[in-house]
Structure formats: structure tokens, C-alpha cells
Homo-oligomer: A and B are copies of this chain.
Amino acid sequence: MNKQQLIEQIKQKKSFLCVGLDTDIKKIPQHLLGDEDPIFAFNKQIIDATADYCVAYKPNLAFYESMGVKGWISFEKTIKYLNEKYPNHFIIADAKRGDIGNTSAMYARTFFEEMNIDSVTVAPYMGEDSVSPFLTYEGKWVILLALTSNKGSHDFQLTTDPQGERLFEKVLRVSQQWGNDQNMMYVVGATQGRMFEDIRKVVPQHFLLVPGIGAQGGSLEEVCTYGMTKDCGLIVNSSRAIIYADKTEKFAAVAAQEAQKVQQQMEAELKKHNVI
């Protein structure tokens, strides 16, 4: 999916919500455990229930890999289901990969060619040759970690150089030599508040993937105030607050309600900032 198509989806749905499919066998409703593939059964119902309110889905690979081979089967089925039934939803493999060139190329092949996923999250620590193999696919995206939502983001990402540039700002600046706003986004945590102002100084046009509202406590309003562009420029993720809102047989219906609530807040923000 290219940038223009993504913007159209956002305007059409009045939503920039991404539903995080962090599906944990220990947290899904009991009644699904008898299913042949409980993880996929859960995802399928969550997807069907929330598709009208979101523009993207983001399975975090860790949750699938923790189940070994079974987990990969559930992951692949989920991606296949999304590709077939919801081709207009943007798919993010939250993998946080990044390795030497030939190895990153293997990952790119897996996610983009074999699985037809739209984007992959990538860690920047290893620099250009760990990122650029992901940038050679038309209509596919790298989502580079910049300023993450967790407490540990302060350990290294805020380190300044002698000119006062912080590491996350250097990542934003330098990586623009590798890609552009048509094939690169950045992860910026919703918990970072006014830092979005500083980020927009370096990347005024890029889309940002914003985790951390909901369970992690970030504010949607604040993110929009400081981070929204004329084209929206934001994909805001919520995982646990939506998918685990209810643990009974009604889980999918409750997830839909929660997703709709967020969508309505997003619609208000899009109007407030004159995007729609």
C-alpha cells in the first residue's frame, strides 16, 4: 500500500487506528482453547469485529514465536486472512528486526515477498546496511524505531552529541538519506508527549507509528496536538485495551465497542486538525 492509498483509507474510515494483534494464549478467552488453532480463531474474530474502525493491524511477532512452530502457523494464517478478506488494511509485522545486510535481505524477502506484508518494524542500531534491504520493494515500508514508548527509551535514545542532537533525532535525520516519506515511517511512543514537536521539526511529512495509548498510558489528544500533519501522518496503535477488553464469549463484540470508541475520538481529532 502506498502513502496516498493509506491517506485515503484514513479519510474514508475517519480513523487512524491500528489494532495490535499481541495474541497471548494465556490471555484469550477460555472457550477458544478447545479450537484447533485458538490464536487464529481469536485473531479472526477480533479482525472481523474491528475492521470497520481501524486502518491497520499489527501482529507482534514475539507473541507468535513464543509458541514455536504452532505460533508461526497462526501468524501465517492471520496474514493470509487479512490479505484475502481485508486487502485495504495496512499490515505491520512488528518484528523489530535489523541485521547485517545479507541477513536483513532474508527478512525482507520473507515479510514482503512471501507473506505480502506492507511493513516491518526495524531497529536502527546497526545502521544503513541493516535497513536499506527493506527499502527496495515498491509499495512496502520500513518502520524504524526512533523514540519508543517504554521506560528504557531514555537509556540511549536521548543521548546527545556535542551539538546537542539526540540519538533519536540523529536516527530521524540520517535515515532520510536511505529512504523517504513514501517508504519509511518511524516508531514514536505515545508516552513521549511534547517530544512530538521536536520530531516534527526533523520529519514534518513522514507517517509515525505510535504505540502506547491504552495499557501504556499515552494520550491520544496530546499525540494529535503535537504530531498530526495535514494528511494525518499518524497511525496510532492499541493492543491490550482493545483485544483483551473482555474475556468472555462476547470478547469480539466488546473489542468492536472499544475500537469504535477510539475511532470516534480519532474522527474528532481529524476534524479538529482539518484533515477531514
Residues in A lying within 8 Å of B, measured CB to CB: 22, 24, 60, 62-63, 65-69, 72-73, 76, 96-101, 103-104, 106-107, 109-110, 114-115, 123-131, 145, 148-157, 159-162, 167, 170-171, 174, 216
Q: Which residue of B lies closest to A162 (CB)?
A: B162
CB-CB under 8 A from A125, the residues of chain B are: 123-125, 145, 148, 156-157
Q: Which of B24, B124, B162 contacts A161 (CB 8 A)?
A: B162
Q: Which residue of B lies closest to A63 (CB)?
A: B106
Can you list 27 A-B contacts (CB < 8 A)?
A60-B103, A62-B104, A63-B103, A63-B106, A65-B106, A65-B107, A68-B72, A96-B123, A98-B123, A100-B148, A100-B150, A101-B152, A123-B126, A125-B148, A125-B157, A126-B145, A126-B153, A126-B157, A127-B155, A127-B156, A128-B152, A130-B152, A156-B170, A159-B167, A160-B162, A161-B161, A161-B162
Q: Which of B62, B153, B155 contacts A103 (CB 8 A)?
A: B62
CA distance A153 to B128 in the complex (A): 8
How many copies the complex holds: the figure is 2
CB-CB under 8 A from A73, the residues of chain B are: 69
Say yes or no: B170 contacts A154, CB within 8 Å: no
CA distance A174 to B167 in the complex (A): 16
